[in-house]
């Protein structure tokens, strides 16, 4: 595994030397972990490692229905992905937790389908789960590749 990492890092360094579009920052992503939004004592909002962005689960307690909460959560996801230097067009995975999958799945999917890039859909899992607070109806967590 270490040999593969070293090969990838060597390839990135070689690319950086020959291609002005590849920055030193891109090279550093092969060997470092970057944590953003670390003000919460429990977790980072964003972790970047090996060109992959991981965001923490996002929720919304301001809207009262699943449509509003889903829209607000996806807006948060967009903001975090942008902060990390990527977008929903580079999504790899999505995990969605719904408080009541029987009641909310169809409405959540309508909002999701309007938001997701139709040409670059991630793999996705959606399950029903108890939420941390009674007013929460949805939580979404995604991973994405860094734009190159």
Distance CA 137, CA 148 (A): 35
Q: Give Cα separations from 57 to 15, 20, 54, 68, 93 (angstroms).
A: 34, 35, 10, 17, 12
Q: What is the pLDDT of residues 10-42, one digit of tens each?
A: 555 555 555 554 454 544 445 589 999 999 999
Q: What is the pLDDT of residues 64-86, one digit of tens each?
A: 999 999 999 999 999 999 999 99
């Amino acid at each position: 595994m270490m040999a593969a990492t070293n090969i990838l890092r060597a390839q990135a360094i070689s690319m950086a030397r020959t291609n002005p579009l590849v920055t030193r920052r891109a090279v550093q992503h092969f060997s470092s972990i970057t944590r953003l939004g670390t003000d919460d004592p429990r977790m980072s909002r964003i972790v970047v490692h090996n060109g992959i962005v991981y965001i923490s689960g996002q929720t919304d307690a301001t809207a009262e229905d699943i449509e509003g909460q889903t829209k607000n959560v996806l807006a948060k996801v967009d903001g975090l992905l942008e902060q990390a230097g990527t977008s929903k067009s580079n999504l790899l995975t999505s995990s969605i937790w719904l408080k009541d999958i029987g009641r909310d799945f169809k409405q959540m999917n309508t909002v999701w389908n309007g938001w997701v890039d139709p040409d670059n859909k991630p793999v996705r899992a959606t399950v029903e789960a108890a939420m941390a607070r009674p007013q929460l109806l949805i939580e979404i967590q995604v991973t994405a590749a860094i734009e190159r």
